[in-house]
Amino acid sequence: MDQMTIYLVLAAAFGLFMAWGIGANDVANAMATSVGSKAITPFQAIIIAAIFEFLGAWLAGGEVTSTIRKGIVDTAVFADKPMLLVYGMLAALLASGVWLMIASSKGWPVSTTHTIVGAVVGFAIVGVGIEAVQWAKVGKVVMSWVVSPILAGTMAFFIFRSIQVLILDKKKPLANAIKYGPFYIALVSFIIAMLTIKKGLKHTNLELSTGEGLLIAAAFSVVVAAVGAVLVRRIRIDPEADVDFHYANVERVFAVLMIFTASAMAFAHGSNDVANAVGPVAAVISTVQANGADVMQESPLPVWVLLLGGVGIVVGLSTYGFRVMRTIGRKITELTPSRGFSAELAAASTVVLATFTGLPVSTTHTLVGAVLGVGFARGIAALNLRVVGNIFMSWVVTLPAGALLAIIFFYMFKGIFS
């Protein structure tokens, strides 16, 4: 086996390991509100994730992949030493996989985006120097980590307040839940459809104007809302259940709605975060295919790379995701389907917005921000501040941990291969 083939095999193996870590940690976050509110079972979460994570990565994942591949590090500085870029991207993948495995074993919902960006910056600084890092791009990414949880938290606050005003605070909350539920489903469907049309169909060479895109997205959202309305009306209403808990049947309606938001969250996550695993793999492939001759060249992202990311993510969620699901789904604040629905809709919308702009935001930060927003809508006492503090601490540690591990592995690969 020649050296170039070894690099490709290692890139695929480490990419799979990284994707496994994303499944165990980040996808577990994405599914945590659905599972924690008991709207869906862990097994159903795995099925939904398997379908929609892959669709999100395949249909709409290219924009963020380009940011991780070339946006963080100036590939021009590797023009006369392309193998350093290969060693660095391999080190970044392995470092991220190792850190995600450690964090997931502790139940810490850390950011895979933080991890991979920290790792890429770490190897670039020791491999070439500080000038190799595009600090303006890194600054934008860091800003998105601050903005995304605030934006998601604010959206979740107002979505849950709208549910309180339109449904929960009314004399007939169940009738209003059945009445307004399809409108919330239509909103979710419209957001996801617009993402797919505007970003996901680029590789099919299907050019649609904004007007055509809006029309197709609106039609799609109406059809999905109609399906949702049928499902909502088929719910078995149990009058006895409302005796113990006034909103028992209302929450059953939101449990159905959460199937749609869980699907949307998985799609949004796949479109944004699968790039964390496959971006560095794509960089290695393009450099190796050119025999190191031109690190600046554009090469199409092979479908098998996105498939690799999708498979790794599903395996990670099904084998190790339960620990992180428990932290976000049950320990931050008590979640019911209506609260979980608000958090998921806000988080999915924020991630979709980020994918539109090519910013690799953290799904973890976004979802935790959304859960906090729902908690605030119920009052500060509804939040477990000790758990929130632990989560914030794990976020702070993640970036330097990713960078340090990447530096160690970078020197290891450089010593073995050069």
The values of phi and psi at residue 362, to 5°, are -90, 120
Give strand pairing partners of 73: 133
Domain segments of the chain: what residues?
3-417
pLDDT value at position 49? 82
* CA 347/CA 339 separation, integer angstroms: 12
Residues forming beta bridges with residue 133, ordered by sequence position: 73
What is the torsional sign of CA 381, 384, 390, 396?
negative
Backbone angles phi, psi at 336, to 5 degrees: -110, 170
Those residues with Cβ within 8 angstroms of residue 156's Cβ, 6 or more apart along the chain or in another chain: 342, 343, 345, 346, 347, 369, 370, 371, 372, 373, 374, 377
Rounded CA separation 74/300 (Å): 19
pLDDT given for residue 88 in this prediction: 87
297 vs 288: CA distance, rounded Å? 11
Given a contact cutoff of 8 angstroms between Cβ atoms, the answer to whether 93 and 281 are in contact is yes
Do 138 and 72 touch, CB atoms closer than 8 A?
Answer: yes
Which ranges of 290-384 does DSSP label H, i.e. alpha helix? 303-320, 322-326, 337-357, 363-378
Concatenating the DSSP letter of every residue in 186-221 gives HHHHHHHHHHIIIIITGGGT----HHHHHHHHHHHH
Give pLDDT, residue 61.
63
- Give me the pLDDT at residue 95, please: 94
Let me know: does 173 contact 250? Beta carbons within 8 Å. Answer: yes
d(CA 76, CA 78) in angstroms, rounded, equals: 5
Residue 67 and residue 120 in contact, taking contact as beta carbons nearer than 8 Å: no
Q: What is the largest CA-CA distance in the chain?
A: 74
Closest CA to 349 of 146, 176, 145, 189: 189
Q: What is the pLDDT of residue 166?
A: 92
Residue 42 corresponds to which tokens in the numbers above?
């862990």
Contacts of 292 (CB under 8 A, 6+ apart): 82, 83, 86
Which residue positions in the chain have pLDDT lower than 50? 294, 296
Q: How many CB atoms lie within 10 A of CB 317?
A: 29
Give per-residue pLDDT as tens, 253-298. Answer: 888 888 888 887 788 777 766 666 677 787 788 777 766 554 545 5
What does the pLDDT read at residue 295? 52
The gap from C-alpha 119 to its chain's centroid, in whole angstroms, comes to: 18
- Give the pLDDT confidence score for residue 309 in this predicted structure: 78
Q: What are phi and psi of 368, to 5 degrees?
A: -60, -40
Angle, helix 248-289 to helix 210-233, in steps of 10 degrees: 140
Task: Look at residue 10 in the predicted model and tell me its pLDDT.
Answer: 92
Q: Which phi and psi (to 5°) does residue 300 adopt?
A: -60, 145
For residue 205, what pLDDT is reported?
61
* pLDDT at residue 348, as a whole number: 78
For residue 237, the 8-state DSSP code is: P
Determine phi and psi for 73, rounding to 5 degrees.
-115, 135
Task: Round to whole Å and give the CA distance between 81 and 207.
Answer: 38
Sign of the torsion angle spanned by Cα atoms 381, 387, 388, 389: positive
Q: How far apart are CA 345 and CA 37, in angstroms?
A: 14
312 near 57, Cβ under 8 Å?
Answer: no
- End-to-end CA gap in the chain: 17
Interatomic CA distance for residues 32 and 45, integer angstroms = 9
- In whole angstroms, give the CA distance from residue 341 to residue 57: 23
